[in-house]
Amino acid sequence: MAQAEALATQGPSPQREITDGFCFFKGAIMPLADANVNISTHALNYGTGCFEGIRAYWNAEQEQLYIVKGLEHFKRLLQSSRILKIKSAYTAEELLDWTVRTLKENGYRENVYIRPLAFKAAQVVKVTLTGLRDEIAIFTVPMGDYVKTEGLRAVVSNWTRVADNIIPSRAKVTGAYINPALANDAATADGYDEAIMLSTDGQVSEASSANLFVVRDGTLVTTPITADILEGITRRAVLQLADQFAIPYEIRPIDRTELYIADEMFLAGTGAQIASITSVDRRAVGDGELGPVTQRLQGLYNRAVRGQEERYLDWLTPVYT
């Protein structure tokens, strides 16, 4: 725990208003204050956009800012765009390159959250996905922990996770975030830290804005990509780290009541990072403390994203050269 705490992200809260700095918009780096859209923009009216959340971690010793899994995130953005028929003028590599330039322009020496956004920019009233002008933007903001990374109290939400045939769940669609916002807002109002969402079939899908893992008898379990989850990049990273520790894992449906008998449970996501859940529906998970599997994965992840693990340097794109 001491190590995880020492490495925990310090920085501004995600609820701080973003007003200053430079962003990428309309093919150029510009002040964020000038990067505005009209109120008749399609995406603002209908939620017809998709986005990414990427983190960059500052390594003070190396004086380096590392973008984590940048290319994977931009590839997912292009997949989401394809589902929404948003044309991209840029490849994933070019978007990563613009991200590096944006971060450099801001001159950050702290942990940063990166928000690429591809959207229907046309000022048109018609509800459609076809024949509309598209736009892409990237803004960045210094950010600490999105949620606390230890001892989260979760609740199984009575809001159902959006199904792929209602709003594509594997696309990170702006409008679809009403669903986790409702779940998370209700959870917070009821005194919980996080909402776990079930699919329309009543099985576990994922948390409000992170994938979910449980540990049962030493085996790591997470839901399949067909369980209406966002195909998480941190989820894949966790499975890679589990291999290093020879922790066995299963990708399979998870029943609600498995949550009540799990030994450990944690969130995995870019924003959430690896965050332990120690109670669900006011029942203790295991003995109600941070478990050993979660702790090992969390420690290794926190080091890997900061460029402190040689074997995972290929996850990272250094900003300053």
Ligand X SMILES: Cc1ncc(COP(=O)(O)O)c(C=O)c1O
Shortest separation between residue 41's beta carbon and ligand X, angstroms: 22
* Residue 85 known to be catalytic: no
The smaller minimum CB distance to ligand X, of residues 122 and 297, is found at 297
Task: Find the helix or strand (DSSP H, E) in which 117 lies.
Answer: strand 112-120
Shortest separation between residue 6's beta carbon and ligand X, angstroms: 23
From the candidates 69, 75, 120, 172, give the one annotated as an active-site residue: 172
CB 24 within 8 A of CB 98: yes
Q: Which residue shows structure tokens 């040689």?
A: 310
**Cβ neighbours around 102 below 10 Å, total:** 25
Candidates 233, 241, 280, 305: give the one binding ligand X (CB under 6 A). Answer: 233
157 binds ligand X per the rule CB under 6 A: no
Question: In one letter, which amino acid is 101?
Answer: R
49 binds ligand X per the rule CB under 6 A: no
**Which window, 11-19, 91-99, 106-114, 266-274, contacts ligand X (CB under 6 A)?**
266-274
**Distance set, CA 100 to CA 56, 80, 185, 210 (Å):** 10, 22, 34, 25
Question: In one letter, which amino acid is 279?
Answer: S
Q: What are phi and psi of 251, to 5 degrees?
A: -110, 110
Residue window 172-211: x/- pattern of binding to ligand X, with contact defined by CB under 6 A: --------x-------------------------x--xxx
Q: What is the DSSP string of 17-50?
A: ---SSEEEETTEEEEGGG----TT-HHHHH--EE
Shortest separation between residue 229's beta carbon and ligand X, angstroms: 6
The smaller minimum CB distance to ligand X, of residues 174 and 209, is found at 209
270 binds ligand X per the rule CB under 6 A: yes
Shortest separation between residue 113's beta carbon and ligand X, angstroms: 11
80 binds ligand X per the rule CB under 6 A: no
Q: Is 218 helix (H, G, I), strand (E, B) or coil?
A: coil
Question: In one letter, which amino acid is 17?
Answer: E
User: Site size for ligand X, by CB under 6 A?
Assistant: 14
Tokens standing for 78?
């292009």
3-state helix, strand, coil in the chain (%, to 5): 30, 25, 45
Candidates 64, 140, 234, 273: give the one binding ligand X (CB under 6 A). Answer: 234
**Which window, 23-31, 90-98, 138-146, 269-277, contacts ligand X (CB under 6 A)?**
269-277
Given the rule CB under 6 A, which residues bind ligand X?
53, 180, 206, 209-211, 230, 232-235, 269-271
Active site residues: 172
